[in-house]
């Protein structure tokens, strides 16, 4: 794909069948127009964020090559979430049947009502950094630093790499 960009997507689920939902999301991402999944991390069991009582998450990251704009890619991810049963109720850090976050898109930065790049808070979230460090430890997150360094600085207690 000429003129394509590298992008990174965070995946998570803790309701229903999380492994099945993450696999379905990866297949759907790969099926987006002008987009291919080129790397994917292992799945990681992670404790949930926030105070709500809920099951542990299964998280992963995917590296893609895409010719879509960042905004079109995010629209595609939101559409995949809807197809896989996600209903947005405005609750932060609550249980999810699927959650897809556009983490980085090349070295671009955005700060609009629709899209913030890199994803806010990702540099402090072990459930993002641990799988990202597995597949892209040398990735430089614009304005935040190298993934391997950021990963060493976060508390990863309770995060377990799952067997395939």
Instruction: Enter the DSSP assignment of 68.
Output: S
The pLDDT tens digits for 1-45 are 668 999 999 999 999 999 999 999 999 999 999 999 999 999 999
Cα–Cα distance for residue pair 43/46, rounded to 1 Å: 10
Q: Where are the alpha helices (DSSP H) in 50-164?
A: 70-83, 126-135, 147-152
Domain CATH number, residue 42: 3.30.70.560
DSSP 25-43: HHHHHHTSTTEEEEEEPPP
pLDDT above 90: residue 90: no
pLDDT above 70: residue 147: yes
CB 99 within 8 A of CB 12: yes
pLDDT grade for 101, boundaries at 50, 70 and 90: very high
Domain total in the chain: 1
Catalytic residues: 86, 96, 99, 101
Domain range for 72: 5-161
Q: What is the pLDDT of residue 47?
A: 93
pLDDT above 80: residue 51: no
**What pTM did the predictor assign?**
0.94
């Amino acid at each position: 794909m000429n003129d394509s960009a590298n992008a990174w997507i965070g995946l998570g689920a803790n309701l229903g069948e999380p492994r099945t939902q993450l696999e379905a999301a990866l297949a759907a991402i790969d099926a987006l127009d002008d987009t291919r999944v080129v790397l994917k991390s292992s799945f990681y069991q992670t404790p949930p964020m926030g105070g709500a009582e809920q099951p542990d998450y299964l998280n992963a990251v995917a590296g893609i090559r895409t010719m879509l704009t960042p905004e079109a890619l995010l629209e595609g991810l939101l559409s995949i979430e809807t197809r896989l049963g996600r209903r947005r109720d405005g609750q932060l850090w609550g249980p999810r049947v699927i959650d897809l976050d556009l983490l980085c898109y090349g070295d671009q930065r955005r700060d609009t009502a629709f899209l913030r790049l890199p994803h806010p808070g990702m540099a402090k979230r072990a459930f993002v950094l641990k799988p990202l460090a597995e597949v892209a430890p040398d990735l430089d997150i614009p304005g935040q630093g190298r993934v391997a360094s950021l990963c060493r600085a976060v508390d990863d207690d309770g995060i377990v790499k799952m067997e395939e």
